[in-house]
Structure 1
Amino acid sequence: MEKLAVYCAQNPFKVIFSWLFIFALSVYLNISFLEDGLTTEFTFITQPESEKGQEALLDLTGPRLASELIVVKSDTFKVSNPEFENLVTSIQTDLTKLGPNIIKNNYSYYQTQDPQSVSKNQNATLIGLTLSVSVDAGIKNVPKVIEIVDKYNKEPNFEVLILGEASIASASNKLSEEDLIRGESIGGSVALVILILVFGGLVAGVLPLILALLGIVIATGLVAIIGNIYQLSFFITNMVTMIGLAVGIDYTLFIISRYREERNQDFDKIEAVRRTASTATRSVVISGITVMLALLGIVIVPTLVFVSLGIGALIVVVVSILISLTLLPSLIGLLGDKLNSLRVPFLNSRTSKSVEITSSANIWVRFAGFVMRFPIISLVVVLIVLVPISMQTNSLVTGANGIDTMPEDMDIVKAYNVLSEEFSYGSISTQDIVVSGRFAPEALNSAVEILSQLVQGDPDLIGILGTPQINSQNDVALIRIATASVVGSSQSENTVKRLRDSIVPEAFSGLDSSIYVSGDHAFYADFYQMVDEFTPYVFALVLTLSFILLMMTFRSIVIPIKAVLMNLLSVGVAYGLLVLVFQKGIGNEIFGFQQTDIIEAWIPLFLFCVVFGLSMDYHVFLLSRVKEFYNKTKDNTLAVSYGLSSTATIITGAGLIMVAVFGGFALGEMLMMQQIGFGLLVAILLDSTIIRIILVPASMKLLGEYNWYMPKWLEWLPTVKFEAEN
């Protein structure tokens, strides 16, 4: 590692131009291929029952095409008035002109005379249309439909809105992009200010931000390649940006800080680079590996969103590490002491020498000394505050938030509100029963009769809608059951369970065909079940791998046990605050967050993996300095003081940078981004402050030499060194 850093510092132009070429190639990949590699669809990697049902339906309904509803409402005219009919007819004419490549068909009340297409007070009606392509492809076509809708929405006395799969996906994409830009601008701006304050100069302050953005562009270029081979969720770009800013800035910050410290010890430029590579850069690599091990927990959950988020995070962490190993030493070698140029007046950017770091005049030494004089009191006070917050996790309710949680001024939300209020849209949905396999029509009818009787006895099922849809080969049938359950709710999940466990098996016992409970209700039930099923495996994998890596790094079983417990406390507090702020609405208005009864079902598991990985950063950087000094002095108390004081400013700055990055995303409009950003923000803030400056020194004081206890029967394990032999 030291040889690589020295080579890069001595040959900066070769390395810099290589990275510039990779950057240019990544820009091309992003522009040309990224959009085609991402999807808004939420699918499973495996095939649960709901997916099997949808696949069987292809023989009955064909490929699933995107469908839309256009809402036409007037406070002046009734649907029976000619003015109303003329406007609807004009809209349909313009839709037809788009051609069969965009619109497969469209229909309205004036053709079907379906009373369900007219509102209760006769002042609104619906135009139904089916696009000629799937939802993903429809995102490219639906803007032309939206243009027509917007055109007629400007007509006096009428309100024209659209809602459907493609329009929702298009609006979600747009909102996600806006949140991404907002998160980057807020997080990046605040991070830049913090970096300048930490380093006291513009050059050293700007460099980490530039390298983080470079890593994000390159990582998204790799995502574009992978996405065109194996399609990924569009949320991956938010993940790459958020994690890329956080770790990219932090890793560069730690390395530059250590390099300046070594230069301040009067080592020449190349020797300072070598010594930095043998200490801080090694810690960055170990920290990065720890983060990646935690992120593996996301990847093993077989749903597209989890796999995509995990892949995106892993890619950007790897790219950030490679930049730290090669490009950063090259830039340091090129800039030399110009790294400290453009200093900001009144900011002291001079790095302290070791003797000053351990001096009693250092505020962090004094604070660590205070905590270690009263370790039990320090631990008790902190735990009295944090444990009750983490216990709020018992009230955590997960599920799926609907369109109504999106910003109220969005047209799709306005359309949803009209449909809900005027047409009872959403109050009745269907549980879909799919029969797959050869069957006799008489046997199917008999089963449907039994099903109808059983449905009438269920409190959450209303009745069978119409007659079964059957294909010409009599091997696929669809029976739809009306239900008042809200899609994604616990009531809906329980209804699906009753259908699968008792109602459907009893009704279709006389058929040899495969019977699937499918549709939107079943999809969410399968997703919740999958998350519950994989959660223990994810926790076990992340905790075990992190424990083993830390044990081999610090040659102790006590250090990793404490690290795991403290990180679990951070995660627990993050969960508890999500409950208090979002579910119970305590202080949500202060932050501008929505109050909701539900936390998105995938967020807790996602937060666990990301928080656990990022929190390990601070443990590795702090404890590596503690271990470094302990190896020299064998004085546990002095080593803790040295480790805390030598990393305090940098880790505090790094923590505040992550808080700024996650805070920028938490201020977005999408509820799920608010929940993710806030959860990460509070966990990292807690870990980089209270846990690092109170719990770590207090616990290390209480345990003394036992901190470094390693059973003899484990000494055969290889050592992962954070400091090279000099």
Structure 2
Amino acid sequence: MAGQGARFWAGERLMNSRGAVTVRIARWSATHPWRAIGLWLVLVVVAVGLSIAIPKQQTKEADNWVGQSGQAAELIQRAGLEDKPSETVLITDPDGPLDRAAATSALTQLRQKMTAIDAVGAVGQPVWAENGKAALLPIELKGSADDAAENIDQLVTATADVQKAHPGLTIAETGGTSLDAGIWTQVGSDLARAEKLSLPITFALMLLAFGALIAAGIPVLLAFSAVGAALGFYAPLSYLFPDGGSVANVVLLIGMAVGVDYSLFYLKREREERRRGRSTVDAVEIAAATSGHSVVVSGLAVIVSMAGLFVAQDPTFSSMAAATIVVVAVAVIGSLTVLPALLAKLGHRVDRPRVPLLWRLNRRIGPGGISRRLLAPVLRFPRVALVVSTVAVIALAVPALGMKTEPGGLDTLPQSIPEVKTMKTLQQNFPSEGMAYDVVAKADDKTAAVAALNRLQQAAVESGKFVPGQAVRTSGDTAMLRLVSVLPDTTADAKVALDQLRGDLVPKAFSSLPQATWAVGGESASSVDYGEHQRDKLPYVIAFVLALTLVMMAFTFRSVAIALVTTLLNLASVAACFGVLALIFQHTWAEGLLHFTSPGFVVSWIPVFLFVILIGLSMDYHVFVLGRIREGVRAGLNPREAVRQGVVDSAGVVTSAAAVMVSVFAVFATLGMIEMKQMGVGLAVAVLIDATLVRIVMLPSILVLLGRKAWWPNKLPTPTPTPTKERELVTA
């Protein structure tokens, strides 16, 4: 049949493309397998050595200063008015009002233990709640916040010892340092859980795809080694791009997805060519010329997309971008070098040992068996298919118009973290420990600045929405006042309080001192400013990523139409993803299903991150499918038949690749941190939509409707007439 002839002709043509870089690399690896395998092992060992020898750098507090809160923090730091790191031990009675005698005994013991710790600078006097339900002990630590982080375990241990001695009371510690430590403990637990789940799930999916243990194990092994190597190479890079806290999670998430996919693309094509009678080396070279080329283009697409995170000018995003670029580059190198070496060394043994049931099932379904049936009506009625699929995508995307984004806070953290629960209890019993705002003023007339801050405090307290936090403090020409909002510690209330201070109370207080420089900062203000910063940068990130990927696709396929279609389809997938996120996380109907409490919004950094990742990952198999379709077009098939053949031939590998991505991302949707949950749900939903609705319906229908115009200005051969019998199969 024409399709078989075109495939044979394309294979012969690809055999002649021996000058391609990917083919030359694959040929060397296949003919020198032990050297290639040895070099890969050296690469991994060196990377692991780097991670051991070079301590990974973390972001500093100053790295995250943005907006007016950043200006306030800088003024405070220059004047030396910053607070010493502090912790609070809270005592409550789970059975009712606090027993003052028992609490006094516990407080005395706490003071003794805390005073004996070298890292503790001072232990304050106990403070009793006005409602009689709690007491707190303030503790000031020596040194910087980094010093406090190193010594916090000593305080936590002392608190735990006193708790054991007073089982009738609830004695718990919280504060900036211990809260951060609790969050990191949760992140570490989540990461370990993700590793335990993602590896066996990925291996099981590879077994379903190949039906053989060795073939299934190779992609998983290479992906896992790429993740380990990338984390090692990131260690020295962290001195340029310090870890904002999510590098390990993101590297595991993206590394396993792309690492498995790249190996899968290559391995599937090599097996396909061997089944057609090619020798192992010839099959490897054809896989290198086709799938290897697609892997390089896909890897570059992900790298270009991730580079868009640098545009956000955020240290956390910059660390994610740097680490992800490294893991994608390592995965591409592995698929082009050590994978051909392994395939050449194993030969036909790569399909051993076979899992009988799965092997027979794969043989019975055949390549693209399911996709062929789904694709037939799309090719027969492309306009109807395009209209229906477009309506479906729009329906999913509409909720995105109402998507709310806010920075995370106490309410978005897992309530299972003890320090989070203690902090919320502390704020309930001590309103002065709530959302604090630092008003900083710098003026030549320090006396006038202090008077203005005192007027501000009086007006703020009289408004009934603030209580005094600290009295006015001065240093040189700078003065600072701390006010605490009586509103609950939520993102929306934080913005209300901040807007009132910045827009009304502070300007009025300083109306008689126009030459003064003032700013409102503090932790709550920083959170609000950070969210606004992300929203402001999102349009620039979108423009950067779309422009570069558009140019790259136009250059790769030498077609403006293909580049535009790719961009539109990518935007459709992202819009649908955002719509589903809004549906799930801004409402309560999915709380029981995904085990979370709805915050009523999407965490502010998630849309920027998801957009960049999704554009890159959607190009992953999109490039692979388009490459197979282009093979058919260049072989002389008419556009409809080329689309059918390209989609069917790539269906098995693309479905397997998408299944791996969806499963890995879905694992993150089960984690405790709401940010990880939103990221996992968003990525899993987007890939699922992209691999089914977009790939099987929208892309084929558009290419069929465009016909040969889709590949302009490429010079295409005259289409080979499709025999009647095969034409019937196409439209069946």
TM-score (norm 1): 0.89
SS at match of 1:346: helix
Equivalenced residues, count: 691
Identify which range, 21-30 or 313-322, moves more after superposition.
21-30
Are the equivalent residues in 1 in contact too, given 2:432–2:467 (CA < 8 A)? no
Secondary structure at the aligned position of 1:122 is classed as coil
Partner of 2:205: 194
Post-superposition CA distance 1:611-653 (Å, at most 9, x none): 1110111210101100111111141011011111111111011
Which stretch of structure 1 is more off in the superposition, 560-569 or 43-52? 43-52
CA distance in 2, matches of 1:243, 1:191: 13
Percent identity between the aligned chains? 28
Deviates more, 1:404-413 or 1:590-599: 404-413
Deviation of 1:305 after TM superposition, in Å, equals 1.5
Q: Does 1:98 align with 2:109?
A: no
1:17 alignment counterpart: 38
Task: State the distance in 1 between where 2:415 and 2:451 align.
Answer: 47
CA distance in 2, matches of 1:270, 1:406: 53
Alignment of 1:488-499 (within 5 A): 489-493=491-495, 495-497=497-499, 499=501
**Matched residue SS, 2:291:** helix
CA distance in structure 2 between the partners assigned to 1:628 and 1:43 by the alignment? 53
Query: Could you say which residue in structure 1 is the equivalent of 2:466?
Result: 462
Amino acid in the other structure paired with 1:550: M
* Runs of 5+ unmatched residues, structure 1: 110-116, 713-726
Letter in 1 for 2:400: T
Alpha-carbon distance between aligned partners in 2 of 1:399 and 1:200, rounded to the nearest angstrom: 46
Q: 2:58 aligns with which of 19, 38, 55?
A: 38
**1:106-505 matches, cutoff 5 A:** 106-109=123-126, 117-154=127-164, 155-348=166-359, 362-424=369-431, 428-436=434-442, 439-448=444-453, 451=456, 455=460, 462=466, 467-471=471-475, 474-485=476-487, 489-493=491-495, 495-497=497-499, 499-500=501-502, 504-505=506-507
Match of 1:565 among 550, 564, 568: 568
Aligned to 1:517: 520
Counterparts in 2 of 1:105 and 1:522: CA distance versus 1, 3 Å: same
Letter of the 1:476 partner, please give it: T
Q: Do the aligned partners of 1:12 and 1:331 also contact (CA within 8 Å) in 2?
A: yes
Measure how far apart 1:371 and its partner are: 1.0
Q: Is the CA contact (8 Å cut-off) linking 1:295 and 1:314 kept in structure 2?
A: yes
Q: 2: distance between equivalents of 1:10 and 1:256?
A: 17
Structure 1 residue corresponding to 2:530, chosen from 527, 535, 543: 527
Paired with 1:330 and 1:251, the residues of 2 have a C-alpha distance of 15
Out of 614-623 and 257-266, give the one that drifted further.
257-266
- Is 1:605 aligned to 2:605, yes or no? no
The CA deviation at 1:598 is: 1.9
What letter corresponds to residue 483 of structure 1 in structure 2?
A: S
Between stretches 70-79 and 547-556, larger displacement belongs to 70-79
Distance 1:558 1:341 in 2: 43
Contact residue 233 and residue 308 of structure 1 kept, 8 A: yes
User: How far apart, CA to CA, are the structure 2 residues paired with 1:75 and 1:614?
Assistant: 50
Instruction: Report SS of the residue matched to 1:470.
Output: strand
Task: Write the distance in 1 (CA, Å) between the matches of 2:593 and 2:454.
Answer: 55
2:35 partner amino acid: K
Q: Name 2:652's counterpart in structure 1.
A: 649
**Structure 2 SS opposite 1:434:** strand
Q: Deviations over 1:387-424 (max 9, x none)?
A: 12211012211112322443333321331242133223
Question: 1:246, CA displacement in angstroms?
Answer: 0.5
CA distance in 2 between counterparts of 1:640 and 1:508 reads 69
Unaligned runs of 5+ in 2: 1-20, 716-732
SS at the partner of 1:283? helix
Deviations 1:667-712 (A, max 9, x none): 1011111000000000001111121111111222222222223499
Residues 407-448 of structure 1, C-alpha deviation per residue, up to 9 Å, x if partnerless? 33332133124213322366x433222123x52233224433
Matches for 1:711-722 after TM superposition, within 5 Å: none
Amino acid at match of 1:282: H
The superposition leaves residues 15-38 of structure 1 with CA deviations (integer Å, 9 ceiling, x where unpaired) of 22222223223223334544x423
**Could you say which residue in structure 2 is the equivalent of 1:83?**
102
Pick from 592, 595, 601: which aligns with 1:592?
595
Cα distance between partner residues in 1 of 2:349 and 2:342: 10
Q: Distance in 2 between matches of 1:614 and 1:19?
A: 25
In structure 2, do the counterparts of structure 1 residues 163 and 341 end up closer, same or farther at CA, with 3 Å as the change threshold? same
Specify whether residues 307 and 417 from structure 1 end up closer, same or farther in structure 2 by C-alpha distance, changes over 3 A only: same
Q: Which moved more, 1:329-338 or 1:385-394?
A: 329-338
The structural deviation recorded for 1:306 is 1.4
Provide TM-score, normalisation by structure 2.
Answer: 0.88
- Note the alpha carbon deviations across 1:255-291, whole angstroms, 9 max, x for none: 1111111222222222222221111111000011111
